[in-house]
Chains A and B, each alone.
Chain A
């Protein structure tokens, strides 16, 4: 399986049926090692066409990249992503009643499907969701009768002719304006938003509750899940992620810190406290440890594009569930099993609480998730092969094929392998995104965004 004939041996890694070679394309962000906290990327999301790529950071800003139109002359690569719009989505707030500071960090961005010339996205911090309209302006009116070009009003007595303003081209300007603000509906920290397939409603989930909103209505929302116990002493689990089914507008799932996923049908009742399906895999008693509860907590749940499967990410593994089978996942992939013996240290340095996300490729044949040391992993569901790649500026020549990485868990370390103890746990890839149609991936390290694509011959 591993071809080691030469240092540049090509590794036929994971791919959608074909053996894909991933190449470096671009990297965005500051080069310094000193990372400003506000620059830490907290979410990455492609829009429905893949033309736009949005990132949110800890400073509350949203940066949108747009893919250039494909350059037919340079057919060896797809269009590059360049900055399209940057705006401040959320500001830090202070809740005076509870003496709480509300972080401006963007937890999630979700794009709406495009209906007209403008683009819309939802962005959320811990408490407030905002609907942003991103629109282009490439013309402006010129030739006002009563105004100078700079906007000053002309003295009416000097006006001797009549002219009507005409639109003339101007440099493209991209404007972002908040169209709706959905606030004051969550007591706990929002961890997920998900737009319904009806494109009219969406859900927002915090630790204990899930609310259903209409995109047009900001002054009320419906609570559809509430797992807060009457006595907080009895709390045993929290909601960690939630998502609407991609096709069924009445179905959504939410995952819990106990490693369970509940599928709910909104037609059954107004309050979906009772699940329609409960997905849970029994714990392996031989793996029991102090930290069993932590590593079984699900950090992300994503439906496949087809809607038949869903994927969950817990600390050490990725699991694929068939919606028709509740008692165990159909596939389980170990992301970094070598960390199982390091859980104590990871608990001490808080890394065990890292929430990794996961994503599907467009055809649902490959899944991807991040790890430490700026590694990310892909698992091909068909060939059952997996690959580990690194997001690093060392490979930053365009079209450089990424070399597969390997972590040596124990014993003799082979050449080019990295031992577990030399992994950098401050370099973690929590957020990844896969272009909906093509083999282009966006991988966020702490403060940089890497874009890789498959090699196009």
Chain B
């Protein structure tokens, strides 16, 4: 009965359960999938917090070295604020997960892949994400995260500050580089993900999704989902309070991420595709989310108008086909369109095989969007160089899994 209580394996198990529930007789069980999503969220929080705690430690060392080099590019107070807020982040992270018991099943230690390798993977994804950001930021209106990104101390040596989306919504603190294109991240040592005390948000998976901040953090390393698309949705679970006030926030709350969500409402049989603004709702919908100092913005700021259409089974398959960017085989009728790709994915992520740290971190980053960021399938996404060959389809499929409710609802 011993099992390796490993955040990574828990995540893969949970995803498998959600996937198999789609094909179970009797339809998708809402209750069970809700509970599985809680486990998924808990495991993700732990995983990310560990990652970021470690990466942050490295960043701290490097940051001090680079400070002098980057004097010109960085407003001094930015740096200080960043560092000042850095400190509380770690203890918060540790404290939040201190009482998190790992059940005592065998070893409670999550596996720790070679940090170097891990960092490199994260860095790769981070780079990719930045490239996508550049594609997106054509319009002058600064998205909060984009602005934050721009305002971030873009380091010549790649020392970018992290901008969790939640934090990015805070009032500006003098971001000088608003609207300017991001500097490409240069290969180098660790990017600067913040520690991820996502546990600031309570048990509500919505809140945790919010805290994981689906807005555009260019510095957030695990941006694999973003790698799969130009959307800026995913963000690591991060400490909103950590960065509060450090970075500018956009006036336009609604448009800091572009993502597409397809939801089938079981009651009205209406398929809704929501674009933009959706993720801000995720970010700040919960009153618990400390990132929004003003409290929940309320449904008024919620998802922008989507286009609704009546549900026809054939039509939906068609639409999903379009979204798949041709990566998927033709699906059997009535089956979730992403199923074939997912099956391939689960072979990849079979816990029997030694877990590929990069795969898992991609998985995490996709779900770093807090189940709510369905990465958009814009045409240029296929032009992105797949960061990890063979994983693009998987990531897209995972990204399309999106919110657990959509996993349940949209099929």
Contact partner of B35 (CB less than 8 A), chosen from A208, A228, A285, A353, is A353
Contact A421 B1 (CB under 8 A): yes
Contact partner of A101 (CB less than 8 A), chosen from B26, B39, B101, B281, is B26
Residues in chain A within 8 A of chain B (CB atoms):
97-103, 105, 126, 187-189, 207-208, 228, 230-238, 240, 257-258, 285-294, 297, 340-345, 347-348, 350, 353, 420-421
Contact A288 B100 (CB under 8 A): yes
Contact B13 A347 (CB under 8 A): yes
Instruction: Name the distance in Å between A86's Cβ and chain B's nearest Cβ.
Output: 23
Contact B105 A341 (CB under 8 A): yes
User: 8 Å CB contacts to A: which residues of B11-28?
Assistant: 13, 17, 25-27
* A344/B5 contact (C-beta < 8 A), A103-B26, A236-B205, A290-B10 known: yes
Inter-chain contacts of B204 with A (CB < 8 A): 236
Provide the bound-state CA to CA distance between A286 and B101, in Å. Answer: 8
Inter-chain contacts of B5 with A (CB < 8 A): 290, 344
* A235/B99 contact (C-beta < 8 A), A189-B27, A343-B105 known: no
Inter-chain contacts of A257 with B (CB < 8 A): 31, 34-35
Contact partner of B3 (CB less than 8 A), chosen from A103, A237, A240, A345, is A345
Instruction: Name the distance in Å between B364's Cβ and chain A's nearest Cβ.
Output: 15
* A294/B101 contact (C-beta < 8 A), A99-B334, A232-B409, A240-B31 known: no
* A293/B39 contact (C-beta < 8 A), A232-B263, A233-B405, A236-B205 known: yes
Instruction: Name the distance in Å between A202's Cβ and chain B's nearest Cβ.
Output: 22
Inter-chain contacts of A228 with B (CB < 8 A): 267
* A347/B39 contact (C-beta < 8 A), A97-B269, A101-B26, A236-B204 known: yes
Contact partner of A238 (CB less than 8 A), chosen from B3, B31, B302, B406, is B31
| Chain A residue nearest to B370 in the complex (CB) | A233
Decide if B346 is an interface residue (CB 8 Å cutoff). Answer: no
Provide the bound-state CA to CA distance between A291 and B266, in Å. Answer: 28
Contact partner of A293 (CB less than 8 A), chosen from B35, B269, B302, B371, is B35
Contact partner of A235 (CB less than 8 A), chosen from B39, B42, B405, is B405
Besides A233-B372, A341-B104, 19 new A-B residue pairs in contact (Cβ under 8 A), listed by A number: A98-B269, A99-B313, A99-B411, A101-B26, A187-B267, A188-B30, A189-B30, A208-B30, A233-B209, A233-B405, A234-B285, A235-B405, A236-B206, A257-B31, A286-B101, A289-B102, A290-B100, A293-B39, A344-B103
Provide the bound-state CA to CA distance between A234 and B102, in Å. Answer: 27
Q: What range describes how many residues of B lie at the interface?
A: 35 or more
* Most A-side CB within 10 Å, residue of B26, B104, B206: B26
Contact partner of A286 (CB less than 8 A), chosen from B3, B29, B34, B99, is B99
| Chain B residue nearest to A423 in the complex (CB) | B1
Instruction: Name the distance in Å between A393's Cβ and chain B's nearest Cβ.
Output: 26
Provide the B389-411 mask, 1 if CB < 8 A to any CB of A, else 0: 00000000000000101100101
Inter-chain contacts of B10 with A (CB < 8 A): 290, 344, 347
Provide the bound-state CA to CA distance between A233 and B263, in Å. Answer: 10
Top-7 shortest CB links A-B: A103-B26, A293-B38, A344-B105, A99-B334, A232-B405, A100-B27, A341-B104
Decide if B308 is an interface residue (CB 8 Å cutoff). Answer: no
Of the A-B pairs whose beta carbons lie under 8 Å apart in the complex, a sample of 20, sorted by A's number, is A98-B269, A101-B25, A102-B26, A187-B266, A189-B27, A189-B29, A232-B265, A235-B34, A238-B30, A289-B100, A290-B5, A292-B42, A293-B42, A341-B103, A342-B105, A344-B3, A345-B3, A347-B13, A348-B13, A353-B32
Inter-chain contacts of B282 with A (CB < 8 A): 233
Provide the B30-55 mask, 1 if CB < 8 A to any CB of A, else 0: 11101100110011001000000000
Instruction: Name the distance in Å between A346's Cβ and chain B's nearest Cβ.
Output: 9
Inter-chain contacts of A236 with B (CB < 8 A): 34, 203-206
Inter-chain contacts of A102 with B (CB < 8 A): 26-27
| Chain B residue nearest to A290 in the complex (CB) | B42
Inter-chain contacts of B3 with A (CB < 8 A): 344-345, 348
Instruction: Name the distance in Å between A409's Cβ and chain B's nearest Cβ.
Output: 12
Instruction: Name the distance in Å between B27's Cβ and chain A's nearest Cβ.
Output: 4
Decide if B381 is an interface residue (CB 8 Å cutoff). Answer: no
Inter-chain contacts of B299 with A (CB < 8 A): 230-231
Inter-chain contacts of A291 with B (CB < 8 A): 39, 42, 103
Decide if B383 is an interface residue (CB 8 Å cutoff). Answer: no
Inter-chain contacts of B31 with A (CB < 8 A): 189, 207, 238, 240, 257, 297
Instruction: Name the distance in Å between A84's Cβ and chain B's nearest Cβ.
Output: 29
